[in-house]
Homo-oligomer: A and B are copies of this chain.
Amino acid sequence: MGPGPISVDPRVLRAMAAPLVGQFDPFMTATMNEVMALYRDVFATGNEQTFLVDGTARAGIEAALVSLIEPGDRVLVPVFGRFGHLLTEIAGRCGAEVHTIEVPWGEVFTADRVADAVRRVRPKVLALVQGDTSTTMCQPLAEIGAICAEHDVLFYCDATASLGGNEFRTDAWGLDVVTAGLQKCLGGPSGSAPVTLSPRAVAVVEGRRHVEAGLREPDDEAADEETAGRVIASNYFDLAMVMDYWGPRRLNHHTEATSMLYAARECARLLLAEGMDAAVARHARHGAAMLAGVRGLGLGVFGDTAHKMNNVVAVEIPEKLGPAGGDAVRASLLEDFGIEIGTSFGPLHSKVWRIGTMGYNARKDAVLTTLAALEHALRAVGVAVPAGGGVTAAQESYRDADRAADGLAHGAPDGVLA
């Protein structure tokens, strides 16, 4: 029940045990095409170039940034948590001139603040995290695409921690490149990074196209000369090459990680069978119950809860416990109850626990069991907690949500059935 990686859906685990075929077997290439189509729906996009990078979510981020950024390009990163810092790190290693704006941890940016910075910095790329698990905040994105379009800025988003559990609209929000991972709301294991690129982003990446020695044909030599000096600094993360491998040319690059491809396919199939809106509603429902539950135990919650991600909550460690007491509670949950919750990074280290309700763990039994165990673990270290306070508050949250849904289903005004 941490902030991810999470327990994997058993159907995804089973999918990974399927036998493999060769990388150019018609079943394999058909499966790759199927995965592209599935992730278009997951990302809510019509982008042809929607595929997997073989590595963890961080590999997807680096592939996106190193393929877009040339040394000296200006990149703007609004930082509202640890994963914003990560974007500055990666952009910096790509040779970018990195500009940042920051808000205190626990807050998000207004669109105006981002617009001002875009006008001032005039970046080539705006790189922004949607959901930063380090603070649990979910950055609103809907108004930022228009700002980027107006100033001809490429809009990149790291949606690793949020996709599937919070509303996400690649095309409607004007995003150019989005990357994710399986190990959060998608219910899978770490190790595969779904990505999508708009036609505008594809044009930028294709402008740096290069076919590797040993595979080159005469036309490629000519194209190479045009892009000389602008070649992408990584071979593995060269998205122009990765697109040639996923596309009709099927030009050999890496050897696709087939078991992870099967996992990614099953994650998307399950999510789309449920429906993306229904999956987001499920995360909202269980996230609200967990939030109510920890408050019902008398615990404080960190940050601006109006902008909290549905799938994770940062719970303030009671001050009297101190860092050692906070660790003792986590250890008791793990050792006595077999439940893992997260610690935290940077300014929140030893200040909050992070409890996730995402992917396969966004379930009522997981929420109630965690709250029951947390009650015992807190009492064991001397924190006064109301008996049953967590479970009862979560159950009320579920009942309220059911009544509201029932009311909506019957067209009755709010509260009539209460």
Contact = CB atoms under 8 A, between A and B. Distances in A.
A416 interface: no
Nearest to A340: B22
Interface in A81-129: 82-83, 85-86, 88-90, 93
A7 B25 contact: no
B345 A235 contact: no
Given A62-B234, A189-B259, A7 B19 contact: yes
Interface stretch (A210-218, A276-284, A287-295): A210-218
Contacts of A38: none
B16 A16 contact: yes
A259 B255 contact: no
Contacts of A19: 7-8, 13
Contacts of A213: 85-86, 88-89
A236 B17 contact: no
A141 interface: no
Given A19-B13, A259-B189, A56 B345 contact: no
Contacts of A45: none
Counting chain B CB atoms within 10 Å of each CB, which of A66, A234, A236 scores highest?
Answer: A236
A174 interface: no
A334 interface: yes
Contacts of A85: 212-214
A89 B42 CA distance: 35
Contacts of A58: 235-236, 253-255
Interface in A246-283: 252-260, 263
Interface string A22-54: 110100000000000000000000000000001
B236 A59 contact: yes
Interface residues of A, number: 65
A231 interface: yes
A203 interface: no
Nearest to A100: B213
A14 to B, nearest CB: 6
A78 interface: no
A342 B213 CA distance: 20
What are the 8 closest A-B residue pairs judged by CB atoms, nearest first? A191-B257, A85-B214, A85-B213, A82-B214, A22-B340, A189-B259, A17-B17, A190-B255
Interface of A: 2, 4-8, 13-14, 16-23, 25, 54-59, 62, 66, 82-83, 85-86, 88-90, 93, 134, 181, 183, 189-191, 212-215, 231-237, 252-260, 263, 334, 340, 342, 345-346
Given A17-B17, A54-B59, A55-B257, 10 more contacts: A5-B255, A8-B19, A13-B19, A54-B190, A55-B55, A56-B257, A58-B253, A83-B214, A190-B255, A252-B345
